[in-house]
Amino acid sequence: MTISDKRLLRQLITAVLIKLLLLSVLWWLFIRDSHVSVDPNIVGNRFGVPTSTQGASK
């Protein structure tokens, strides 16, 4: 590896680490406490699958 290759590798690793850090901070600030409720009937209607009120099939 030449010196310029080592420098490029170091810069790429630094850029990836900074992006991972920023994504982690954004997740921590905006998404961590978000909860999505899922209604099986609505999901079944959306995908055209009949849903049962008796629970999961065995």
**pLDDT band of 51, cuts 50, 70, 90:** low
pLDDT at 52: 64
Domain locations in the chain as residue ranges: 1-33
Give whole-number Cα distances, 48 to 37, 38, 40, 58, in Å: 19, 16, 12, 21
Tens digit of pLDDT for each residue in 3-25?
A: 999 999 999 999 999 999 999 99
- CA-CA distance, 51 to 48, in Å (whole number)? 9
pLDDT of 57 above 60: no
